[in-house]
Amino acid sequence: MYTLRDKHLPRHGALPELAHLDDAVDFDLDLRETYRMLPRRSGTGPDMLPNEHLTLVTRGYPGNVEATATMALVNRFESDRVNVKLPAWLYWIDAAVSLLALVKMLGVGTAAPDVRPLGLGGTRRRASTTLVVKIVAAEMAEKLYPVQISVGVPSGAHALVFGVRAMTEKTPDFVYVKIDRRNAYNQVHRASIMDALNSDPGLAAYARFRHAYYSRDAPIVIDGRIAVFASCEG
């Protein structure tokens, strides 16, 4: 437990307040296709809701008007959620993750093993986030490429690999060093991430959405109980 706590740093500093949240666009989500394509047997968040339950909502139910109308109700609720139209307490609950500890290296003697924490959010939030990212992917790629090649950049991993390979061939006197000394994901300051995204008006479309989740400390659930530490950075 101490190892997991040490990998989740307290908040380094207050996140920047946004004066232009009202300028963010309202998303009108249609999650039918997203739900249909959700992978089976994926890990669940603290609410234990599996992807399979969301996929069932997309099916037609002849003769059952209420069941057929469910998808429209889900779309309306999820749109309100990503547009931050719902009470603040819901986003605190919704930001919660179930924490799994993957053992990277066994400890020597009585020392605790080194672990890689893996936080699993709720499937509803993950599905809605997938669709929001898809909607803003082109804008993200245009504004952040080539610093980031994950969102909106086709074959980003290939671009990285072949880009480095081409550079080594063109400049054989260069030295390339890959640094991977520790799991840094939970140690990146959220304030710096938000500052980078907020500095470009072109990325303001989902400012409300990201601020609703990243401005608060997300509860961490371990074995069904809320941990004494939270996800504050990264």
What residue segments make up the domains of the chain, in order of their start? 2-231
138 pLDDT tier (thresholds 50, 70, 90): confident
What residues have CB less than 8 Å from 20, skipping those under 6 apart? 204, 207
Cα(8)–Cα(216) distance, integer angstroms: 14
Cα(234)–Cα(206) distance, integer angstroms: 18
Report which DSSP code applies to 108.
S
For the entire predicted model, the pTM comes to 0.83
Averaged pLDDT score across all residues of the chain: 84
Each residue's pLDDT tens digit, 30-81: 999 999 999 999 999 999 999 999 999 988 777 777 777 889 999 999 999 9
Output 126 or 234, whichever has higher pLDDT: 126
Give the residue ranges of DSSP H helices in 46-112: 51-57, 65-68, 70-82, 88-94
